[in-house]
Amino acid sequence: MLFFLLRHSVALKFRRSEIGMKKWNGVPEMKEITVTRRLPVKYTVDLCVVGAGPAGIAAAVTAAGRGAKVLLIDGTAVPGGMSTAGLVPIFMPCSDGIHFLPDGFGRKVLDRLQSAAAVRGFKSGLTINAEHLKRIYEDLLTEAGVDILYYTRMCDAVVESGRIEALLCSAPGGNFAVKAPVYIDATGDGYLAALAGAPFEFGGENGDVMPSTLCSLWAGVDYAAYRAGGAFSHNDDNMLAKLEEAFRDGTLSVEDYHHTGFSRISDVAAVGNISHVFGIDPTDEQSLTRGMIENRRLLGEYEEFYRRRIAGFENAEIAASGSLLGVRESRRILGDYVLNRADYDAKRDFPDEIGRYNFPADIHPSHPGREELVAHKKLFRSSGYKTGDSYGIPYRILLPRGVENLLTCGRCVSCDRYVMASIRVIPGCFITGQAAGMAAGMAAGGGKTPREVDPVELRKELRKAGAFFH
């Protein structure tokens, strides 16, 4: 067994608790310890992917398809991240009205969902059954030969001269190290890239981030009555009137007008994307904990609201809530190029293009209130594309500055806030994940860094894999 000698300092910062405690378990607010320990190098692979969300799965399956030995690690026991553990009910959108944009890996997922009769829709979005999707993801991973480690959290990275030398992980069996020539950050929050020293941006100009949502599974929905009732989301005046009534009488304690609503997943079940919790820092464990607690409290309020006021929900109940908080925004890792609003507006093509996408800039208001909703709807509608339109995604946004053997994919890729609000959704994650996996496989197989991968050759390989280009 190889051993990795770890010598580094860990700064443990204990903030004042947001629930009124002066100390965290009796520990003063600031304390430092120095850790020196020997860890076994338990896994040596061609590629280590951190994060088993849609982007990480796409990356792992694609790289393994090229013959790479791939290790995929995730702290949960569920593949798919927000699309499964988070109960996000829909892939939106997957099409520009003509083409299937996340083609290649996304097509593999779609075909299996359709075979299982576990998907509805196509052009505007795909409503999904999370339980079927979990099995589909695991089938794709195991068929590709990916080694999967659940219950495994990356807790640090050893970086020397701009290269990641090892990941330090914590699991039920103890702590260990993972070594690979190439790594992929598919954490959504850019956690690995930040640990490795890559620069990043966070939130809007004032540091605000979009609110978080805890999605929920509802049973006992009478969909015929619901559709006849005509109160669906913030786009309906009928729903807005009912929300205002609930704000006035105290049924709903937060004046959140941005009410996304429900997606039907069966004849009697629906998934709700119906609450926002504001002011949550996705990179802070105390803040995330507060967000989960507050979201679960709000779901109780919404259960009462829907039963009392919305047709078809008289006998409905919440069957489950997500085990992951729906985080829309945190770190954006700065790469060799920052994809930006001007690129989006121009529907720009790029010589190193790895795919194309078209979702509008869906920036959820950082604060509650009706004025914020009006501004959101205006931005969303003005940023929409015509049928057949899309913007190019350059390979360079997957290459973090200052780190040679790392790629990013998913929500944390290099872009401004406007583009992030488009590319952050599941089909965008499929596209960037597939490209990151292909590039990582090419790099590991050829003894190169991701930056040394020829974009022309990368595009050729992506085309072979089914990726959509003009």
| Among the listed residues 336, 353, 344, the one whose alpha carbon sits nearest the alpha carbon of residue 402 | 336
Whose structure tokens read 């999904």?
A: 128
Q: Which 3 state secondary structure label does DSSP give 249?
A: helix
Q: Concatenate the DSSP letters of all residues of 317-381 into one string.
A: EEEEE-SS-B----EEE-BSS-B-HHHHHHT---TTEEEEE--------SS-SHHHHHHHHHHHH
Q: What is the pLDDT of residues 334-364, one digit of tens each?
A: 999 999 999 999 999 999 999 999 999 999 9
- The residues, any chain, with a CB within 8 Å of residue 226's CB and separated by 6 or more, are 232, 262, 310, 311, 312, 313
Q: What is the pLDDT of residues 249-294, one digit of tens each?
A: 999 999 999 998 898 888 888 999 999 999 999 999 999 999 999 9
pLDDT at 312: 94
**Regions of the chain with pLDDT less than 50:** 7-22, 24, 122-123
What ranges do the domains of the chain cover?
3-44, 47-160+179-201+332-364+377-464, 216-321
Q: What is the pLDDT of residues 390-420, one digit of tens each?
A: 999 999 999 999 999 999 999 999 999 999 9
Taking a C-beta distance cutoff of 8 angstroms, is the pair 68, 144 a contact? no
Alpha helices in 99-146 (DSSP H): 105-115, 130-144
Fold that domain 47-160+179-201+332-364+377-464 belongs to in CATH: FAD/NAD(P)-binding domain (3.50.50)
Taking a C-beta distance cutoff of 8 angstroms, is the pair 365, 373 a contact? yes
Q: Which 3 state secondary structure label does DSSP give 302?
A: helix
pTM listed for this prediction:
0.93
pLDDT at 115: 85
Rounded CA gap, 366 and 87, in Å?
22
